[in-house]
Structure 1
Amino acid sequence: MALGAVSRLRLRPPKGRAADAALAWGVFVPVAVGSLRSLVGEREESWSATILGWTLIVAACAALYLCRRRPVVVAAFVLAATAAYYLVSVYDGPLMVAFVVTLYVVAAKGHLQAAIALAALTVIATGIGTLAGNHDVNGVAVFMLTGWLVGVVALGWVRHNRLALARETEERAAGEERLRIARELHDVVGHHLSLINVQAAAALRRLHKDPAKGARSAEEALGAIKDTSRDSLRELRATLGVLRQVDEMAPIAPTAGLNRLDELVASARLAGLAVRVRCSGEREQLPTEVDLAAYRIVQESLTNVNRHAHATAVTVGIHRGARHVTVEITDNGHGPAVADRRTPGSGIRGMRERAHALGGELTAGPGPKGGFTVRGRIPYPNGARSLS
């Protein structure tokens, strides 16, 4: 096992400047080996031409170190060096490999037009050389060169598109994760802080009206604030603990669900609301994601009633059907202002997103008998509930 781990560690490809250096050396070594016959054996050219040729080889391969950072400039330079090499040297070395590599990098970096232009320039220059009497390259060779260059550009462009798609998918996933985190924190913190605000305001009003009798009510309100703030801290720590998880450790608090509905109702009653709960259907355990979404919809709805509805009573209905769970929250308040109905706040929008994410739906608007009604319908995964 240890040897396998060491082998995997050593086989990791280099990154950053090390990868740039590996690219340059990886091209230089085969090109140099393929050009050694200009240094050994019978001389076919002067030593000055050989030195110039090797200078061009070294310059072209060394430029590959900057290829990923300046792909178009490097490709143009390598093309010029390669053309000069084949003009001054009588040896047909493999320096063309360096240009092919840069052409691939140019396309892979997304510079498709530049890659096509460089490839076309190469084919045109080679064709002109053939027509001018270069017997080393005939028409078939030009045709094959064209096919190779087109294939290299196509492969580079495919690589670019795959990387772009991967980045887009990663960014979309990160955006959805940020939205989920923001929604979860909004539901956890916003609900409890709203209750604390309502309870504190009610205690102050009672103290101002009748300091003697209001002391008892203020004491009850402070106790409720203490309990609510403790619950808020517990849920916030649990949420942050889940977000920080990198292993299989369990959260530090139980996952929120409709089994904690009594806590929401008790908090709302402490804030002065008369809450009635109606449950129907079978009472099997809901899937975790459905249970959490239903709980958050009820929680956010009660928060909105406390903040905006000016209501005295609210009814919470929960029906567990054969294929979905339905939650309905109706109050007897005045409902939101007309402007708020046209542009729902982040609370209603967050509830809709939760329902839609699980394939459900949510409506929110004035009730038929006044007040405001929120109704969410969330299907179970694959049309069935979890029996665990």
Structure 2
Amino acid sequence: MPHLDPARLRLPGGPRADLALAGVVLVLVGIAEGQRLGPDWQATPSTTLSWILAVAVCAALPMRRRHPLATGWATTIGTGAYYLLSTVDGPLVVIPIAALYTLAAQGRIQAAVAMAAVMIIGVGAGALAGTGDVSGTAVFMLTGWLAAVVALGAMRHGRVAYAEEEARLRATQERLRIARELHDVIGHNLSMINVQASAALHRLAKDPGQAQEALTAIKQGSKEGLQELRATLRVLRQADEQAPTAPAPGLSRLDDLVSSAARAGLDVRVEHSGADRALPAAVDLAAYRIVQESLTNAVKHSKAHLVVVRIHHTDRDLKLTIEDDGQGAVPGHAVGSGIAGMTERARALGGTLDAGPGATSGFAVRARLPLPNPPADHHEPIGGAVDDQDPAG
């Protein structure tokens, strides 16, 4: 016995739905028009013309999505002519109502209102002339139906426009996130490589031993950069690919940044304060990237020799301060995308970031990243609190 899958039982959509609706309406019109035929089933000229109009109106419905305006007016005029010839109140009015909804759903509200007004005026004139079954009650009911159809179509158009705008916004945010990640990953390592390459060229003739050390640092830095780039690109994998096995960067890998900066001739000191606690993945990644970008800027722009990284933990937030002893901000120098990216990271988490001249000299970056509320039971193991976090951030 064949198995029936309810999930495959779907109503037709698109042109198939239009053909189905037109077919049902045409059958109902045929049943209604059959009442006009005499005992010998002989059709009068008006009956024949009514049939032709009904077929033409129903045949025009499948074109409402490609040519909504032309289909709307054609079905409206054809239906009006049909009711002038026919003495029965058939269901053909469903066709122009469907075309009216399409106009409103596509945002052509003025054309939809104009078409609805023509339909109401035409039916109202028929009621005043005492044509057939048309009455004042029918005009009132038709007005309500047409107003509801236009409102539903306009609502549909608004929902579709909102969904499209939201999709565009999500795509823009995703592009910015990807650009920020690639900038942080590639920019840091390439800056270190650039510094070491300059040092190697400068020392090659005078001190080949130091040049070899610089080239070794370039090799290590390029290797680390390639690994991070591959890890970042794996995040952009297709949906059916396996998830990356390497954990996202965090403050636990701060020693790697310190070592990389040291190879570029930068002395980095890290100071921790406050009660250390497990950080959410998003906060941990943002803190790592902020420190990474700050060290990159110190190597590229500040000409600094010493950088102090202060990390302060509280129950409510994580505070970062990265200060160097370099030349500070260069007057008239445009702020690069690195500081903008750090600011966006902090704001995305509800935090703040300030970058500018240091207290005494050099350049300083100060960030505050809020943390979720601490668990009510402080005796709960830290590992249990981490398990509740979304690893994807």
Amino acid at match of 1:91: V
1:53-202 superposed matches below 5 A: 53-202=50-199
Tell me: CA distance 1:41–1:60, structure 2 relative to 1, closer, same or farther (3 Å).
closer
Partners of 1:56 and 1:94 in 2: CA distance: 13
Q: What TM-score, normalized by structure 1, do the two folds share?
A: 0.91
Equivalent position of 1:11 in the other structure:
10
Partners of 1:112 and 1:40 in 2: CA distance: 38
Deviation at 1:104, TM superposition (A): 1.0
1:334 is paired with a residue whose SS is coil
Deviation at 1:33, TM superposition (A): 2.5
Tell me: CA distance 1:132–1:41, structure 2 relative to 1, closer, same or farther (3 Å).
closer
Partners of 1:157 and 1:245 in 2: CA distance: 36
Equivalent position of 2:332 in the other structure:
339
Partners of 2:26 and 2:123 in 1: CA distance: 20
CA RMSD of aligned residues (A): 2.1
Partners of 1:299 and 1:28 in 2: CA distance: 67
**2:294 pairs with 1:301:** yes
Amino acid at match of 1:82: T
Equivalent position of 1:313 in the other structure:
306
Deviation at 1:193, TM superposition (A): 0.9
Equivalent position of 1:360 in the other structure:
351
Tell me: CA distance 1:364–1:89, structure 2 relative to 1, closer, same or farther (3 Å).
same
2:270 is paired with a residue whose SS is strand
Tell me: CA distance 1:243–1:339, structure 2 relative to 1, closer, same or farther (3 Å).
same
| CA-to-aligned-CA distance 1:299-353 (integer Å, 9 cap, x gap) | 001111111111111111111112111111111111222223xx52210000000
Q: Percent of counterpart pairs with the same letter?
A: 51
Equivalent position of 1:329 in the other structure:
322
2:315 is paired with a residue whose SS is coil
Partners of 1:135 and 1:83 in 2: CA distance: 13
Partners of 1:170 and 1:258 in 2: CA distance: 33
Task: List gaps (5 residues or longer) in structure 1.
Answer: none
Equivalent position of 2:27 in the other structure:
32
Aligned pair count? 376
Amino acid at match of 1:289: A
Tell me: CA distance 1:143–1:41, structure 2 relative to 1, closer, same or farther (3 Å).
closer
Deviation at 1:147, TM superposition (A): 0.9
Deviation at 1:10, TM superposition (A): 4.2
Equivalent position of 2:233 in the other structure:
240
Tell me: CA distance 1:7–1:204, structure 2 relative to 1, closer, same or farther (3 Å).
same
Bigger helix share: 1
Partners of 2:295 and 2:311 in 1: CA distance: 14
Conserved in 2, the CA contact under 8 Å of 1:234 and 1:253? no
Conserved in 1, the CA contact under 8 Å of 2:249 and 2:288? yes
Partners of 2:338 and 2:279 in 1: CA distance: 23
